[in-house]
Chain A
Amino acid sequence: MQEIHASQIRPPFYRDERVLGIFTQVLVVVVVVGLGLFFYNNMITGLREKHTVAISFSFLGQVAGFDIGESMIEYSRERTYARAFVVGLLNTFQVAILGIIFATALGIVIGVMRLSTNFLISRIALIYIDFFRNIPLLVLLIFWAQAVFLKLPRVAEAIVLPGPIFLSNRGVAVPWGLPTESWSTYQIILAAGLVLGAAVAYFLREQGKRTGRMPLITLWFLVTVAAVGLIGWIFLPQPLTFDQPVLEGFNTQGGKILSQQFMALLSGLIIYTAAFIAEIVRAGIQSVSKGQREAATALGLNPAQTLRLVIFPQALRVIIPPLTSEYLNLTKNSSLAIAIGYPDLFAVAGNTILNQTGREIEMFTMIMGTYLSLSLLTSFLMNVYNRRIRLVER
């Protein structure tokens, strides 16, 4: 029998799979390190020529000296740059979180409408998607700010909605609660209500596990909390006074004013992002095979049950990854606020603070670091959720 030595035959090095693999890796490392060094050198040289100040964050402790249009925390021009940065960050937070919640809700509704068998409904959804998805967000934001919210009547002739809510070119004034002396006691009662509500929710969940039909847990939770809150309200002397906005001369007094910049940014982001989310929801639903709907139908489930119990849980695993991207986009897109004068993180830090201090490297490190952390946190949470809904196979 002939002896076989196939494993001992060596190819020339330029055809050797292993040598080629190592060579590619080395090449990639050389290119990446080379580029990195080049840009680092470039930055250092640039800094030396421009100014000799060393990189330092101590300026953050200095007095900012500028006003910010709106803030969720107490702020004045005597406060530090660091405080101003936080004000911007909180404003970005506020828009991003509200935007994500409302864009998701609107996106799901439009996405489901898009698949409706009713011609009119699906056509409306289609037009919505095609219109808002294809206009640059910046244009849309400026349109909302300039053509919608700024075109509202002057304060003196504000549109009054029940509440009263005043719509004017200064923004939207809504009634707002002001704490009185008993507010702190009332907060304790509310906390107790939350605990009781959680207990009720837990009990219902356990019961639901036994009967197999989940009751509307969220609803009962809210009912419990509201009931406790109401009882506390009756027994305490007015923990909150409702401050209603009133017209006084050329302005509204009292209440809470949501600025027209805030409203324009929020509605622009919601409407724009919802169009993308709608398409993601549609794709997710359509990715579930037709047989699933048929099987559910044959078993006697109605269309709503089929969507909720069979289609949507399976669509989610297709929906979540691109939905995460949309959340990240919305958060990052909120930096366009600078164009319509809303004081978000980028407008405050990347524009005002930077112009006053000239600290490009420091400010951009902080701004990029913040956006990056926000985005990584969002993706992390979404990935955890995605893992939870993964299908079990084999």
Chain B
Amino acid sequence: MSENATSEEIIICQDVCKWFGEFQALKDCSLRVRAQEVVVIIGPSGSGKSTFIRCINRLEEHQAGDIIVDGIPLTRDVRNIEQIRSETGMVFQQFNLFPHLTVLENITLAPIQVRKMHKDEAHETAMALLNRVGIPEQADKHPGQLSGGQQQRVAIARSLAMSPKIMLFDEPTSALDPEMIKEVLDVMQELAETGMTMLVVTHEMGFAREVADRIVFMDAGEIMEVGTPEHFFTNAQHERTKLFLSQIL
């Protein structure tokens, strides 16, 4: 567990609601995340976990409630949206690496195009990040030539290249073969130890227990319960939380 969570609230969600047509995907979700905190979101599939974190960087638009990221209110103002996106990195279940670019180009694309960084500098940063995730030797390959675990580590490096303050993980290990899950979780754990603010949707209870500062349980679009790992795994309050935990543990 990272002990370095500060008191500054970097993500504030207040009564966030989201509808897909008639279907309400998020019902009055409220959550405050402090800087450097690691929050893991669990819950059955279709419970709105992914939708919730996708609202935070505006991949989905919330229709009611407030979201404030690092003091910037997330509204229709495109300048705010741009700022929030530049402070948040996102890692997807399907990696979503750019298949037409090499690993190195995947990582340097946004720093060069968005941050207007010089190519040499971007390369240096990218190589440092590839070292950090443990695959510097893959720099000149294309994503299609890498294993799933390697691709996901590149995806993490790609997000980190924009030096975000917050990292959002949307089921980062769900598309991986079992033997590759650990290499990705190790990178995430190392990232948590450096004090990154992380919001992680996952089914990896081991990771939740070891790394999370708090665990959020969602069901049917609602946040049912929030608490520390000890509280969660030993003393869950809610019936549905207990049922869910009994099914997966």
User: Measuring CB to CB, which residues of chain A are less than 8 angstroms from any residue of chain B?
Assistant: 210-213, 289, 291-292, 294-302, 305, 309-310, 313-314, 389, 391-394
Contact = CB atoms under 8 A, between A and B. Distances in A.
Contact of A212 (B96, B108, B159): B108
Q: 3 smallest A-B Cβ distances: which pairs? A: A212-B119, A393-B144, A295-B96
Interface string B80-91: 001001101110
B94 A309 contact: no
Contact of B99 (A211, A301, A309, A391): A391
A295 B92 contact: yes
A59 B97 CA distance: 63
Contacts of A314: 98-100
A309 B113 contact: yes
Contacts of A313: 100
A213 B97 CA distance: 20
B115 to A, nearest CB: 8
Q: Which of A298, A301, A391: most chain B Cβ within 10 A?
A: A298
Contacts of A392: 141-142, 144-145
Contacts of A302: 82
Contacts of A294: 59, 90, 92, 96
Contact of B142 (A210, A297, A389, A391): A391
Interface string B138-171: 0001101100000000010011001000000000
Contacts of A301: 109-110, 113-114
Contact of B119 (A210, A289, A291, A309): A210
Contact of B85 (A212, A291, A298): A298
B169 to A, nearest CB: 12
A299 B113 CA distance: 10
19 contacts: A210-B119, A211-B119, A213-B119, A292-B98, A294-B90, A297-B85, A298-B88, A298-B89, A298-B90, A299-B89, A299-B110, A299-B159, A300-B114, A300-B162, A309-B109, A310-B98, A314-B100, A389-B100, A393-B99
Nearest to B98: A310
Interface in B65-118: 82, 85-86, 88-90, 92, 94, 96-100, 108-110, 112-114, 116, 118
Contacts of B197: none
Nearest to B93: A291
A210 B120 contact: yes
Given A213-B112, A213-B119, A291 B82 contact: no
A74 B11 CA distance: 76
A300 B82 contact: yes
A256 B89 CA distance: 59
